[in-house]
């Protein structure tokens, strides 16, 4: 926020509402970008009306360098056009500034939710990467079948071709029945 006093008051209220939040402030989008490049930041909260680079331009600059970083546009002069543009540009949350301190509870909750979702997606990607690495390094094959007649396959690893002579896709599609490959 280009209004340093507002930014400091907002930071104070956010940290009071949620003691787990550690808030740092910058008074321009350029300073915000510089901070992002030098410090680990979990979420950006930005005003829209700022000199030099407005909130939407800041959002676009952040998305270019940090595409997964949660970004909350917290503005006092919002309208439907700004909200629509923000959503189109990939804003995580859009919230209008209000009167009173209740707005900081809402803002803190939105920050927590956005950061939690981003961390969960990142953890899932890492878990999938580890599982994929494990499966690709196992000898033989890995599969997941439904407990039905013929054992229809939901997943078959690439090791199937070496083990049974059929490509994984043929077994998954059902053109080759897993049940026909099993001998008593």
Quote the CA–CA distance of 54 and 137 in Å, as a whole number: 49
Give the residue from 45, 41, 42, 51 showing the smallest Cα distance to 11: 45
Span 110-125, average pLDDT: 96
Kindly tell me if the per-residue pLDDT of 120 is higher than 70.
yes
Tell me the pTM: 0.75
Kindly tell me if the per-residue pLDDT of 121 is higher than 80.
yes
Span 28-36, average pLDDT: 94
Quote the CA–CA distance of 10 and 181 in Å, as a whole number: 66
Span 69-80, average pLDDT: 86
Would you state the pLDDT for residue 78? Answer: 67
Would you state the pLDDT for residue 127? Answer: 96
Give the residue from 72, 65, 75, 104 showing the smallest Cα distance to 90: 72
Half-sphere exposure of 85 (CA within 13 A, CB side): 14
Higher pLDDT residue, 143 or 151? 143
Task: Look over the chain and give the mean of its residue pLDDT values, rounded to a whole number.
Answer: 90
Give the Cβ contact number of residue 29 at 10 Å.
23
Give the residue from 27, 90, 33, 93 showing the smallest Cα distance to 61: 33
Q: Tell me the CA end-to-end span of the chain in Å, nearest whole number.
A: 72
Would you state the pLDDT for residue 2? Answer: 85
Q: Calculate Rg over the CA atoms of the chain.
A: 25
Kindly tell me if the per-residue pLDDT of 85 is higher than 90.
no
């Amino acid at each position: 926020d280009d209004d340093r006093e507002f930014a400091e008051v907002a930071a104070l209220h956010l940290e009071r509402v949620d003691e787990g939040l550690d808030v740092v402030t910058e008074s321009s989008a350029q300073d915000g970008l510089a901070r992002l490049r030098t410090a680990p930041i979990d979420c950006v909260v930005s005003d829209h009306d700022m000199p030099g680079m407005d909130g939407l331009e800041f959002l676009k600059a952040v998305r270019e360098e940090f595409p997964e970083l949660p970004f909350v546009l917290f503005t006092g002069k919002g309208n439907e056009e700004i909200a629509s543009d923000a959503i189109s540009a990939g804003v995580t949350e859009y919230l209008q500034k209000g009167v009173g301190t209740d707005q900081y509870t809402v803002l803190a909750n939105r920050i927590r939710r956005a950061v939690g979702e981003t961390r969960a997606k990142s953890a899932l990607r890492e878990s999938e990467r580890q599982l994929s690495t494990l499966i690709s390094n196992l000898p033989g094959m890995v599969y997941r079948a439904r407990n039905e007649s013929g054992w229809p396959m939901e997943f078959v690893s690439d090791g199937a071709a070496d083990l049974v002579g059929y490509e994984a896709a043929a077994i998954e599609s059902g053109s080759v029945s897993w049940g026909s490959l099993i001998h008593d």
